Amino acid sequence: QKLDKKLKSKLRTGESIGQATTYVLQGSAQIGFSALSMVIKDNKTPNLTYVVVDESTYKPINQALIIPNHGKDSVLAKEFAEYILTSPVALRIFQEYGYDKAD
């Protein structure tokens, strides 16, 4: 929205999404940008409200599931990846925390 120069003196940057969320939850920031999954996780916090930012105003963050080289031959790693990507239970949990299914 090009407000960075106008708001520069009021902006505080966290080193991670968790730290930025903590600033708001602890009251050291009045407002913050966080991952929807973090806000949903902390939805039991009194007086915490959120607004989902219009997806047309930012480029989505594509996340990935990986199996590292040292696990590439692990049947269990492959089964877990398959479960995470296709299981209705896993997909429901992802949706509950604000994640969309990959295309």
> Residue 20 has what pLDDT?
86
pLDDT digits (tens, 9 = 90+) for 15-48: 998 898 888 888 888 888 888 888 877 666 667 7
pLDDT(83) > 90 = yes
Domain ranges of the chain: 1-58, 62-103
Closest among 21, 23, 58, 27 to 42, alpha carbons compared: 21
| DSSP codes, 48-63 | ----PPPGGGS-----
Structure tokens at 59: 């480029």
CA–CA dist 56, 95 (Å, integer)? 20
For 48-69, write each residue's pLDDT tens digit: 788 888 888 888 888 888 999 9
